[in-house]
Amino acid sequence: MVLSRAWSLTIAVLWMAASPASAAIYDQYSDLPAGREYDFVIAGGGTAGLAIADRLSTNSSFRVLVLEAGTSSVGVFNITVPYFSTRPSLQFDWNLTTTVQSGLGDRITFFPRGFILGGSSSVNGMFYTRGSAADFDRFAAVTGDEGWSWDSIQQYLALNENLVPPATNPNTHGEFDPAVHFTNGTVDVSLPSFPQSIDSKVLQAGDELGGSFSFNLDVNSGLPLGLGWLPRTIDSQGRRSSSATAYLGYAAKNNLDVLVNARVARVTPTSHSKNSASGLSFRTVEFSQDITNSTFFQVTATKEVIICGGVVGSPQILLNSGIGNSTTLLAAGIPPLVDLPSVGQNLSDQAFIANAFLANTTDTYDDINRNDTVSNEDLTTWLGESGQPGDVQGAGPLGDTFANQISYHRVSDELIEKYGDFSAGVTSPHLEIYPGNGFFIVPPPTGFYMSMTTVVVSPASRGSITINGSDPFAPPLIDPAYLTADFDIAAMKEAIAMVYRFFNASVWDGYILAPPEGLPSLSEFFTLNATDLDLQLETYIRNSTGTSAHPVGTVAMSAVNASYGVVDPDLRVKGVNGLRVVDASVFPFVTCSHTQVPVYVFAERAAKLIAAYWQEV
């Protein structure tokens, strides 16, 4: 789609007005204030990094520097429009791929990761899902730290969430439970603003079927099972609310600096420490602003370095620093300094399929991403310039993300008896299904679709991330090991069977014309021989599965005295001083949700832990 110059300028102005940066944002290291010392250096300005930076900088005695590998998000208006998240923005992505995946028919898959200030919160689908209470209680049990329990993290949800009215939907009664939400936090959250044509059908089907599709007033209550409305991180004017827009804030701070285009290579020992098992303190960060040459800069934190590089970047930085499995490091040509074999292990991601069914309608979102005339009309509406009475900013389909409802399900008892239960508990789901009024991402040239996305949110498969030699900027070897555990493929088969049962509700009569290629028709699904159906499903799943972009676990936290894990419950790297990791890589298990909200929770608590420690020292 081509935007006119007038529209480009208008959106740029709206974006700048929405997110004036509190921090000074610099493009070049030489532009940083001369001679300035920093108490905290944060390696990564993504979802967690900017939240921590903002919270620490509220103490005027702390000086904070953020090093972000990507570009600044200020003035980048395409990421402001929520529905444009369905359009690939490769210039804002690391463009990484996996190794060959045996569970996916030896395919290599895309592995998205935000390459822009705000990280993945600047480019994700904006789903606001917290996970189950059992997810956080399991974190507490595994680490021996009650501070990670569901009851304990409510204070951090309150710091993060600012529930606001959606742009054009003044009545959200019956779509959420006000008692479980917060209205004084930092990140704007809203219910759906623009009605999809399938909304009433989805809810009617849930009412008709009941069971696992029974209505859940609020999937964010800690008990997510069932079908409910889907909140998203979108403000009251229909704009994305990200870590960058929310935590960089409005009030200027002279103690917070952000340097973009700064790719961290490693952390290095600054001094010896009597208080760490290795005898080392890691407080110096080495980074480059041009990876095509050998020019590196160094900056040293007087208090701590906080790595927020994400599930890929954080283990990569640690390994390049000599922190990891000593045998692996020696093989890569890196002198081992701290033997932590768990670095890069325990990679867990949620297998994902966007199942697109051909629908008997023309009232879908498909033309937004394939017809410039429709897209431009919708953009005019979103800008509030359509000339209609009551025009408001954020109106129309572009002010929303691609799903209005979401449902969570447990697998059958038969599957659990056969393979075990990989969820956090009996009130926690294994599967997620959400409907979308159109083809996910870029639709085919013709046809109108309804998507039923299926996700295995409590997977058994575990993979790894490791470096590919001694070049700190070489793309790492990413092996999520999708569908290598028998439970995951069996669970995805049950998810697809649930979709067919959902479409068997009478409200869908005549609505679905054809299934995705490789799947049987609605009538055939229930009449096929069980063996033939199972084989057809397995072939389809292995050929269609990709990432949900929810990887976790590669720098997992564990109990203080555990023989495994990488960070302690306070997120300090085991055996060293001056170094913490805060992002999704520290989750020992993936939450049953989209991971954005749990990352914010970890960042909020980490900031409290860090500030409290240094105020006591």
pLDDT (tens digit, 9 = 90+) per residue, 302-327? 999 999 999 999 999 999 999 999 99
The confidence score (pLDDT) of residue 22 equals 61
- Cα angle value 159/614/58 (rounded, 5°): 40
Per DSSP, which regions of 5-111 are E strands? 24-26, 38-43, 64-67, 96-97, 110-111
Q: Which tokens go with 432?
A: 């997620």
- Collect all residues with Cβ–Cβ distance below 8 Å to 194 and sequence separation of at least 6: 168, 169, 395, 396, 397, 399, 400
pLDDT at 250: 55
Q: What is the pLDDT of residue 279?
A: 86
Residue 17: the pLDDT is: 42
Integer Cα distance of 397 and 364 in angstroms: 10
Question: Is residue 419 a contact partner of residue 486, using CB atoms and an 8 Å limit?
Answer: yes
CB 38 within 8 A of CB 46: no
Residue 617: the pLDDT is 77
CA 241 to each of CA 190, 237, 319, 514: distance values in angstroms, whole numbers, following the listed order: 10, 10, 33, 37
173 part of the active site: no
Are 54 and 43 a contacting pair, CB within 8 Å? no
H or E segment to which residue 487 belongs: helix 486-503
**Collapsed DSSP state (helix, strand, coil) of residue 576:** strand
Q: At what angle do helices 5-18 and 372-383 cross, to 10 degrees?
A: 40
CA dist., res. 138 & res. 424, Å (int): 6
Token pair recorded at residue 126? 């904006």
Q: Which portions of the chain are predicted below pLDDT 70?
A: 1-22, 250-252, 273-274
CATH (residue range 16-79+91-164+243-344+464-481+551-617): 3.50.50.60
Whole-angstrom distance, CA of residue 374 vs CA of residue 368: 6
- Which residues have C-beta within 8 Å of that of residue 570, sequence separation ≥ 6? 145, 580, 609, 613
Distance, CA of 343 to CA of 188 (rounded, Å): 34
Active-site residue, 550 included: yes
**98 close to 111: Cβ distance less than 8 angstroms:** yes
Residue type, 296: F
pLDDT of residue 549: 97
- On whether 264 is known to bind a ligand per the annotation, the reply is yes
- Those residues whose C-beta lies under 8 Å from the C-beta of residue 555, and which sit 6 or more positions away, are 314, 315, 318, 342, 343, 566, 567, 581, 585, 586
3-state secondary structure of 48: helix
- Residue 517 CA to residue 556 CA, distance in Å, equals 39
Q: So what's the pLDDT on residue 251?
A: 58
Q: What is the per-residue DSSP string for 18-29?
A: H---SSEEESSG
Secondary structure (H, E, C), 214-278: CECCCCCCCCCCEEEECCECECCCCCECCHHHHHCCCCCCCCEEEECCCEEEEEEEEEECCCCCC
Domain residue limits, the chain: 16-79+91-164+243-344+464-481+551-617
* Assigned token pair, 89: 């923005």
Active-site position among 181, 409, 430, 594: 594
What local confidence, expressed as pLDDT, does residue 40 receive?
98
